Chains A and B, each alone.
Chain A
């Protein structure tokens, strides 16, 4: 099974009703370093991730994975996770089922995934009555069970308190340690620094800068990113 990475974006644009949201973005995402997509609200972070994940089709340009079957070997965790009205365990089992995992293996793999995110004690509880942080961990468990080659995370902790945020970040590090390529959008500089190896800085739908984390902080090269860092730092 050959790797689906690198992912190539060539001159990718995305527009809705003539309003340009992503403008001529060219990128190559390689296996390995965790990539943080950073930018202000409305910079196009979520849309760029949805284009990469295949939930949106580009208005122009090309997005190509390096081998067939990329759909099944990537996962995405959204800002607001959607839980099915069934138990936590069955939510993971569902993800395995639709991914084509044989019935006999589903429950064991699902239990392992719940263990990984620390949700084994609530495995039988209905997913929708879990707390926000638990639901997001369950969303990560659904992704973990699939052992994706690439994991997209769209501001996964935007709605969570600091404690829940730390738990989520620990799990994201575990994905990275297990060899999954992490691609995450955030507007939190602290989170970017804690989890990322490199930064893609988006400004008004364009890539303003792409730098390794240790170069981006404390001094971004682009004026847009420098202004953003200066603005955000005191509150971070």
Chain B
């Protein structure tokens, strides 16, 4: 165990090329997915928070439930869509990084949207009278509040990023864990562990945790700075 840990550290320290390709692809896929999910999820959450329309309560319940979507189920669903016989089969996306981005976007979107919905709804209680007094209602009010609490929403985005970078099931199914093409950190860890190459698995695990830590630290620094700057 200790020996494996030591070799893992050496792999990380010596910048093993194979390892860093995997890390790069992981980051690329998860950050892209979170970017798309943020662009779609924040407005969706804000509209659900502020809007008043029939079926709103049901939509919120469904959205909250979707936060718990099992990654393998999302993977299977996207697999069926992208497979040769599927409705989007003609684009030939299955087993590509793009397919992995799509799957992770679907996985992460409900998390970001649901957390944003709650944050905007809480803030809206404070803002509503003032904004309505200005004559601001509906989507315009939603966007104003969304922008005003943008730094608090970093938490929702980080939750999404945590989910994306940690999951195995979805990227495994739609990516296929092809060496040099669609192998990412989590699928590599799963594979190397089953093959018995514990040093590489551990090295990847440490890198994964370090990256998630670093990103969250950055988010925290930004939030704190914003709090001091804007109150």
Report A's interface with B, CB cutoff 8 A: 50, 53, 55, 71-72, 75-76, 78, 81-82, 84-86, 94-95, 98-99, 126-129
Given the interface pairs A126-B229, A126-B230, the reply to whether A85 lies near B148 with Cβ below 8 Å is yes
Whether A84 contacts B144 by the Cβ 8 Å rule is yes
Interface contacts beyond A82-B127, A98-B140: sample of 16 additional A-B pairs, CB < 8 Å, sorted by A? A50-B129, A55-B133, A78-B130, A78-B133, A81-B130, A82-B130, A84-B144, A85-B230, A85-B231, A94-B144, A95-B134, A98-B135, A127-B231, A128-B230, A128-B231, A129-B231
CB-CB < 8 A to A81: which residues of B? 130
Closest chain-A Cβ to B128's Cβ sits at a distance in Å of: 9
- 7 residue pairs of the A-B complex, CB under 8 angstroms, read A50-B129, A82-B129, A85-B230, A86-B230, A94-B134, A94-B144, A99-B134
Residue B126 at the chain A interface, CB threshold 8 Å: yes
CB-CB < 8 A to B130: which residues of A? 78, 81-82
CB-CB < 8 A to B134: which residues of A? 94-95, 98-99
Q: Which of B127, B132, B140, B144 contacts A55 (CB 8 A)?
A: B132
Q: Nearest residue in A to B152 (C-beta to C-beta)?
A: A85
Whether A78 contacts B129 by the Cβ 8 Å rule is yes
Closest chain-A Cβ to B144's Cβ sits at a distance in Å of: 7
Q: Nearest residue in B to A80 (C-beta to C-beta)?
A: B126
Q: Which of A55, A84, A85, A99 contacts B129 (CB 8 A)?
A: A55
Given the interface pairs A98-B140, A126-B230, the reply to whether A82 lies near B135 with Cβ below 8 Å is no
Please report whether the interface of chain B is mostly helix, strand, loop or mixed according to DSSP: helix
CB-CB < 8 A to B144: which residues of A? 84, 94
CB-CB < 8 A to B133: which residues of A? 53, 55, 75-76, 78
Classify chain B's interface size.
10 to 19
Closest chain-A Cβ to B42's Cβ sits at a distance in Å of: 16
Please indicate which of the listed interface residues B127, B129, B131, B140 has the most CB atoms of chain A within 10 Å of its own CB: B129
Closest chain-A Cβ to B121's Cβ sits at a distance in Å of: 16
Closest chain-B Cβ to A117's Cβ sits at a distance in Å of: 17
A220 to B208, CA, bound (A): 76
A130 to B144, CA, bound (A): 21
Given the interface pairs A82-B127, A82-B130, A84-B148, the reply to whether A98 lies near B136 with Cβ below 8 Å is yes
CB-CB < 8 A to A129: which residues of B? 230-231
Q: Which of B110-135 contact A (CB under 8 A)?
A: 126-127, 129-135
Given the interface pairs A55-B129, A78-B130, A82-B127, the reply to whether A99 lies near B231 with Cβ below 8 Å is no
